[in-house]
Amino acid sequence: MNICDLRMSLQVDTVGREMYQFISDLYPICRSITGNGFRETLHNIQRHMPLEIHEIATGSQVFDWTVPKEWNIRDAYVKNSRGERIIDFRKSNLHVVNYSVPIRKKMSLSELKEHLFTLPDHPDWIPYRTSYYKESWGFCLSHKQWSALEDEEYEVYIDASLENGHLTYGECYFQGNELNEVLISCHACHPSLCNDNLSGIALAVFLAKYLHSLPLRYSYRFLFIPGTIGSITWLCLNEHQVSKIKHGLVLANVGDSGSSTYKKSRRSDAEIDRAAIHVLKHCGEDYEIVDFSPYGYDERQFCSPAFNLPVGCLMRTPHGCFPEYHTSADNLDLVQPSYLANSFLKCLSVLSVLENNLTYINKNPKCEPQLGKRGLYRAIGGPEGDVDELAMLWVLNLSDGSHSLLDIATQSGYPFEMIQRAANVLQEHSLLKEQSL
Amino acid sequence: MNICDLRMSLQVDTVGREMYQFISDLYPICRSITGNGFRETLHNIQRHMPLEIHEIATGSQVFDWTVPKEWNIRDAYVKNSRGERIIDFRKSNLHVVNYSVPIRKKMSLSELKEHLFTLPDHPDWIPYRTSYYKESWGFCLSHKQWSALEDEEYEVYIDASLENGHLTYGECYFQGNELNEVLISCHACHPSLCNDNLSGIALAVFLAKYLHSLPLRYSYRFLFIPGTIGSITWLCLNEHQVSKIKHGLVLANVGDSGSSTYKKSRRSDAEIDRAAIHVLKHCGEDYEIVDFSPYGYDERQFCSPAFNLPVGCLMRTPHGCFPEYHTSADNLDLVQPSYLANSFLKCLSVLSVLENNLTYINKNPKCEPQLGKRGLYRAIGGPEGDVDELAMLWVLNLSDGSHSLLDIATQSGYPFEMIQRAANVLQEHSLLKEQSL
Amino acid sequence: MNICDLRMSLQVDTVGREMYQFISDLYPICRSITGNGFRETLHNIQRHMPLEIHEIATGSQVFDWTVPKEWNIRDAYVKNSRGERIIDFRKSNLHVVNYSVPIRKKMSLSELKEHLFTLPDHPDWIPYRTSYYKESWGFCLSHKQWSALEDEEYEVYIDASLENGHLTYGECYFQGNELNEVLISCHACHPSLCNDNLSGIALAVFLAKYLHSLPLRYSYRFLFIPGTIGSITWLCLNEHQVSKIKHGLVLANVGDSGSSTYKKSRRSDAEIDRAAIHVLKHCGEDYEIVDFSPYGYDERQFCSPAFNLPVGCLMRTPHGCFPEYHTSADNLDLVQPSYLANSFLKCLSVLSVLENNLTYINKNPKCEPQLGKRGLYRAIGGPEGDVDELAMLWVLNLSDGSHSLLDIATQSGYPFEMIQRAANVLQEHSLLKEQSL
């Protein structure tokens, strides 16, 4: 069974349900860019795939950055004068500004309000806020709840620690025929947010799980890292070997109902860009292609000028473009098994193009070879074209050493699989050989 | 008289009627990819232009192909139980599947039907079918006739021979100032089908007839060949000299009422591509430009990867895109003198561009030369522009050695002839010289 | 105060009124390509800016051309049989065909009419006609007046001289940090026509006036020349130093109500082309970009093939495209202070882009630098993007030595000023260095 067979035989519905269940399991954990929530998440992933867990000490220099203190939180609340927990971390980990320093203090409403964040336009939703690089504390709550706060004394309590420790990330590598690598990266630092980015984590995990046992051309590297500081740390530690990365995808927001979006790498016409665009163009659904920009997810770091890696980003609705983004409404209702499965299949299709995008040489380049005597041509000439025959003619005509199968698919307008099948048949009949052989 | 004078002085209506008459003469002949019908066609052509006839023996190896047996047919019919010729080759040579092996046999309707071909969507038309590379036999008939066949015994008779012999083709070469060649090729293997491709044959013949006596820059080579096997055979025999072909056109389907279509060469921006596109763009009629694809006519072979010749295809309605294609409805009503003449004129315009597409050097490249003192400028400056003066300014400005006249026409948006006239006037006034001189 | 500060602090309304007043002052003067009207115009300009006046003798060879005789006119009229000046040069200098030879003669209406020019489509307007390079004479008048001429004897008088003398032009050069130059050229040879080209003269004068005292990167050269013969003469005299011209603009028709039009240089993607297009694209108003063509104004000469200088043309409505063009209706009503000021501001913006279009190197190209610890990042991560922060990320990502700030502005879609500000901030924080340093 190879990657094409997998694509054909896959029980897509089952994969979608499994991904959704995995998201449901991880949803309650309070993750951050460091700390035990992140570790617990990696341990969950290890139940599905082999994963090496790396711990980098606080204070380590990683390029222009410093690995921050480790943050852990146990409990947090705001109590009113009657001692009721009116904001309660146990109800939603979004209630606490992520990376808040510990505090235990009584204060008036007006003092408290300087530390409260709401979304007036979505009065029922809790926003998601962070304060990674400035020591601070705060609570997030629905605007409706905020509006009902009375002018009394409140007790504020955050039982958190921000201390020397480690930054944690997970890495999985399995070797293919080549040492050239495909990098799959996702940020795993967000607390209870489903689309952003438990969906990306789930997609990476299930890709690894299914690809792991297949014979593959490329080696594969999966990263589960905290956003920004994680990719910076990984790039700093692995600077000597990034040249092996021939293609890469950052996965994020792949579970919502929006159409698929591919954000190009900084190079804009890398093979991963052309493969992803080809797959979306032929998927029969709406899709968006967006140019590279230096914000979004970790492609920012992979595509920084000194690295400029061929890494694009596969999403459904992009970051900041769905109203539930970075709010409590990015929950288990926003992502659905069918969208997750659809993203999985598209991602697999992209990888299948990369795996099979070889360049062939027509062994018979002077005029067409006689397909008929090899049983590759309809016997009675008539007006109906046999599409696979035309695909064979395209492959023969363009296999001059300067066109890969993806180039041929693009120029002919045929789906990659049809061109690949035609190439396989021609190779079986000794009409084609691989360029490198 | 040069090619421009010819274009201006041509009696276009007369040419159209002559081409139509020529098609009418050739229409009844039963051609195939080999055999006497093809020879008779070439003899007809010889009445209009010098033509060398080549005979290549059955069994000759031509690249991956073998020259097939020669097919000749004398008579064929299907008789019903009352001895009536209900399908009669003498009424239409399309009734017999082209290249059918000989047969004389009685059979039931059900056995017969395995060898009958019809067009249910066009119940009055006879389809055109071939079986060149698989020994087989069959009859084509209207679906209406097929539906009326009764369940009785039939006598099937095809008085044909499929034996060692020759593949025949016609070639005409006349030398111009340069040994660089323009190739004009058309397939001449179809029986009674007018648009595909008696029209292409007629266009090639009348081009040769009119160009033959003119002073020409390029040498010209005209090929009248059986489709596919003919171009493969010619390329195999002439492999050593194809590098002389600088421009080429395959002519097919040039007599129907559709708008002109130019299919680009595999190179996509060869001079022939730019010349043909320029002419169609300025013809004042609808037109289509289509990209190269490795199917259609003999451009498939000329543009195979090892040759990759700059050969495009000029048509009206492309192959397979008119309902009468490969049926008895591709008859003398489908092609008309006016469409043939129109195609002739466009083709002549394309050749005129190629013949005159020189690159000049402005001898006065520092600022504009003073056109006024040479009588090339309107005397009283006023608001009305003189278009030819602007054409002169374009030629002067862009004649820096890197722009041909066609480049200048394209960039300025002017018709080639206007740019050519301007260049001629400037050369007469010693303001321009040919780059190569 | 630098050019950016000037753009911000400028009293635009005042500049517009000053330009309009300047035009009003110059309007009555009868200019031509040579003579005292041209000199008087240059003396007027000298009241606003330093200007060197050059005099080139009649008969001097300038490339293919010869400096013509100097034309001066004192008076001209046509009197009817009652001795009334029915066409009177004192009422409008457009009444006399510019460069008319002297004449004093009585003649019949029919003889007179061979020398009269009108605009039948605009019966109230006087056309503007010239006869520079053919010795001739004539009068221009409204078609209404022409229609009322009676069949009587007329006295024709043109008190003009066409004698050996000089061609005059004005030049202003001031040196910047670099010897590389920006060329600003305008034709100053038209008599009482406001948009074409007192508007261009006024724009050049006020640019020079305001730029003169600023610290500038480039050196600036302003030319006030007669059309065609003036630029040819200047290029001939300065051929040895034109390679210093890195950017150039011809200014014409910049005072009418039409939208701004930029005509590209012959190179089509010179930095001046990209700067002008960028400014128009971001100006929030309609605009037109037109390709280079070898007619129009003096860009014809600057862009002749041997020079091919990066000189575009900034206009509002192009030459020949407004009905008042080259008529008495191109008067003080056609141009307005607000349009003049708008053109001034756009021109200043283009020059500001050129002055500031440096290429920087990201000193921290491996991943993003940590903006937060430098106070360049919002402290509490939330959904609202800070546009300037994004501009910084664009500058950092693309400052790899192959993208200038204008390239970055174009690729990011941000206005140049925002990218420039971001680069300045990054340089202040030692995150960026100039490429050349």
Higher pLDDT, C372 or B64: B64
Q: Nearest by CB to A300, which of C368, C379, C398?
A: C368
Chain A nearest CA to C432, separation (Å)? 13
3-state helix, strand, coil in chain A (%, to 5): 35, 25, 40
Pair B74, B194: CB distance under 8 Å: no
- Give the one of B379, B385, B397 whose C-beta lies nearest to C294's C-beta: B397
Q: What are phi and psi of B309, to 5 degrees?
A: -75, 155
- pLDDT score at C378: 63
**Interface test with chain C among A133, A235, A322, by most C beta carbons within 10 Å:** A133
Task: Dump pLDDT digits (tens) for A106-152.
Answer: 999 999 999 999 999 999 999 999 999 889 999 999 999 999 999 99
Q: How many other CB atoms are there within 10 angstroms of residue A243's CB atom? A: 11
Q: C405 falls in which pLDDT band (50, 70, 90)? A: very high
pLDDT for A385 beyond 70: no
Q: What are C16's two structure tokens? A: 């517009």
Q: Is there a contact between B129 and A393 if contact means CB atoms under 8 Å apart?
A: no
Instruction: Give the number of other Cβ atoms within 10 Å of residue A273's Cβ.
Output: 22
Chains in contact with A, where contact means 3 or more Cβ–Cβ distances below 8 Å, are B, C
Is residue C116 scored above 60 in pLDDT? yes
Partner-chain residue, chosen from C365, C380, C382, that has the shortest CB–CB distance to A304: C365
Q: Residue C7's pLDDT band (boundaries 50, 70, 90)?
A: confident
Q: Is the pLDDT of residue C225 over 80?
A: yes
Contact A305 C381 (CB under 8 A): no
Q: Is A132 on the interface with C (CB under 8 A)?
A: yes
Chain B neighbours (≥3 Cβ pairs under 8 A) are A, C
Place of tokens 């009326």: B148
Name the β-bridge partners of C327: C127
Residues of A in contact with C396 (CB under 8 A): 294, 304-305
**Across residues C343-350, what is the average pLDDT?**
98
Indicate the pLDDT class of residue C382, thresholds 50, 70 and 90: very low
Task: Say yes or no: B398 contacts chain C, CB-CB below 8 A.
Answer: yes
- Tell whether C424 is within 8 A of chain B (Cβ): no
Q: Mean per-residue pLDDT for C94-119?
A: 97
> Does the CB of A198 have a partner CB in chain C at under 8 Å?
no
Among A40, A122, A63, smallest CA distance to A301 is for A63
Q: Which of B386-400, C332-346, C411-425 has the lowest mean pLDDT?
A: B386-400
Q: Residue B9, Cβ neighbours under 10 Å: how many?
A: 8
Residues in A touching C364 (Cβ below 8 Å)? 63-64
d(CA A381, nearest CA chain B) in Å: 5
**Best of A134, A190, A193 to mutate (most C CBs within 10 Å, chain C):** A134
**Residues A368, A389: Cα–Cα separation, whole Å:** 12
Give the mean pLDDT of B224-232. Answer: 98
Q: Do A367 and B326 make contact, defined as CB atoms within 8 angstroms?
A: no
Q: What is the DSSP letter of B195?
A: I
**Which amino acid is residue A91, in one-letter code?**
K
Residue A430 touches partner B, C-beta closer than 8 Å: no
SS3 letters for chain A?
A: CCHHHHHHHCCHHHHHHHHHHHHHHHCCCCCCCCCHHHHHHHHHHHCCCCCEEEEEECCCEECCEECCCEEEEEEEEEECCCCCEEEECCCCHHHECECCCCEEEEEEHHHHHCCEECCCCCCCCCECCECCCCCCCCEECCHHHHHCCCCCEEEEEEEEEEECCEEEEEEEEECCCCCCEEEEEEECCCCCCHHHHHHHHHHHHHHHHHHCCCCCCCEEEEEEECCCHHHHHHHHHCHHHHHHEEEEEEECCCCCCCCEEEECCCCCCCHHHHHHHHHHHCCCCCEEEECCCCCCCCHHHHCCCCCCCCEEEEECCCCCCCCCCCECCCCCCCCCHHHHHHHHHHHHHHHHHHHHCCEEEECCCCCCCCCHHHCCCCCCECCCCCHHHHHHHHHHHHCEEEEEHHHHHHHHCCCHHHHHHHHHHHHHCCCEEECCC
pLDDT (0 to 100) of residue B134:
85
Across the range C154-176, mean pLDDT stands at 97
Residue-averaged pLDDT of chain C: 95
Token pair for C357: 């279009």
Q: What is the mean pLDDT of chain A?
A: 95
CA distance B190 to B330: 11
Nearest CA in chain A to B321: A383
CA distance B284 to B279: 9
Option in A369, A370, A380 nearest B131 (CB) = A380
Contact of A295 with chain C, judged by CB distance below 8 Å, is answered with: yes
pLDDT digits (tens, 9 = 90+) for B277-331: 999 999 999 999 999 999 999 999 999 999 999 999 999 999 999 999 999 999 9
Which pLDDT band holds residue A379 (cuts at 50, 70, 90)?
very low
Name every residue whose Cβ is closer than 8 Å to that of residue C327 and which is 6 or more positions away in sequence: C94, C119, C122, C125, C126, C127, C128
Tell me whether residues C306 and B366 touch, CB distance under 8 A: yes
Q: Does A383 touch chain B (CB under 8 A)?
A: yes
Mutate to test the interface with C, among B362, B363, B367, B384 (most CBs of C within 10 A): B367
CA A296 – CA A309 distance, rounded (Å): 16
- Kindly state the tokens that stand for B219: 């040498």
Predicted confidence band of residue C376 (pLDDT cuts 50, 70, 90): confident
Average pLDDT over residues B87-113: 97
Q: Which two tokens stand for residue B350?
A: 């394309």
Q: What is the SS3 string spanning B7-65?
A: HHHCCHHHHHHHHHHHHHHHCCCCCCCCCHHHHHHHHHHHCCCCCEEEEEECCCEECCE
Assess contact for B68 and B33: CB atoms under 8 A. Answer: yes
Q: Is C59 on the interface with B (CB under 8 A)?
A: no
Question: Which among B228, B293, B305 has CB closest to A365?
Answer: B305
User: What are the b/e assignments for B180-195, b being 16+ CB within 10 Å?
Assistant: ebbbbbbbbbbbbbbb
pLDDT of amino acid A380: 43
* C179 close to C219: Cβ distance less than 8 angstroms: yes
Within 8 A of B398 by CB-CB distance, chain C residues are 294, 305
Do residues A253 and A203 lie in contact, with contact meaning Cβ atoms separated by under 8 Å? no
Residues of chain B contacting residue A398, judged by C-beta atoms under 8 Å apart: 294, 305
CB pairs under 8 A between A and C: 88
Residue B437: the pLDDT is 56
pLDDT in tens, B265-281: 999 999 999 999 999 99
Q: How far is A395 from chain C (nearest CA, A)?
A: 36
Question: Which residue, among C145, C151, C43, has the nearest Cα to C94 in the 3D structure?
Answer: C145
What's the CA gap between C250 and C29, in Å, rounded?
Answer: 22
pTM greater than the 0.80 cutoff: yes
Predicted confidence at residue A387, as pLDDT, reads 45
**Three-class SS state of A73:** strand
Name the residue with higher pLDDT: C382 or B36.
B36
Q: Is the pLDDT of residue A276 over 90?
A: yes
Quickly state the pLDDT bin for C437 (edges 50, 70, 90): low
Q: Does C370 touch chain B (CB under 8 A)?
A: no
Over residues C323-331, mean pLDDT: 98
Pairing of strands A260-263, A287-290: parallel
**DSSP one-letter code for B240:** G
Rg of the Cα atoms in chain A? 25
Residue B145 makes CB contacts below 8 A (sequence gap 6+) with B86, B87, B118
Tell how far CA C208 is from the center of its chain: 12
Element (H, E) at B432: strand B432-434
Count other Cβ atoms within 10 Å, centred on residue B148.
9
The region that residue B300 occupies, defined by phi over 0 for left and psi between -120 and 50 for alpha, beta otherwise, is alpha
pLDDT in tens, B382-425: 444 444 899 999 999 999 999 999 999 999 999 999 999 999 99
User: Is it the case that residue B8 has pLDDT exceeding 90?
Assistant: no
This complex has an ipTM of 0.94
Average pLDDT of chain B to the nearest whole number: 95
Contact yes or no for A77/A88 (Cβ under 8 A): yes
A308 to chain C, closest Cα gap in Å: 9
pLDDT of B133 = 82
Whether residue C206 has pLDDT greater than 70? yes
SS3 call for A256: coil
Instruction: State the pLDDT at residue B1.
Output: 84
Please tell me which of the candidates B368, B372, B383 has its beta carbon nearest to residue C300. B368
pLDDT tens, C12-49?
Answer: 999 999 999 999 999 999 999 999 999 999 999 999 99
Q: What percent of chain B has pLDDT over 90?
A: 92
Instruction: Please report residues of A whose CB lies closer than 8 A to that of B304.
Output: 365-368, 396-397
Q: What is the mean pLDDT of residues B250-270?
A: 98
Strands B52-57, B166-174: pairing kind: antiparallel
For residue C354, give Cα distances in angstroms to B402, C279, C358: 29, 11, 9
Interface contact B132, partner A, CB < 8 A = yes
- Cα–Cα distance for residue pair A248/A181, rounded to 1 Å: 8
Strands (E), B131-211: 139-140, 153-163, 166-174, 181-187
Categorize the per-residue pLDDT at B377 as very low, low, confident or very high, splitting at 50, 70 and 90. confident
Whether residue B152 lies within 8 A of chain C, CB to CB, comes out as no
Average pLDDT over residues B327-353: 98
- Asked if residues A415 and A388 have their Cβ atoms less than 8 Å apart, the reply is no
Note the pLDDT of residue A4: 87
Better pLDDT: B375 or C367: C367
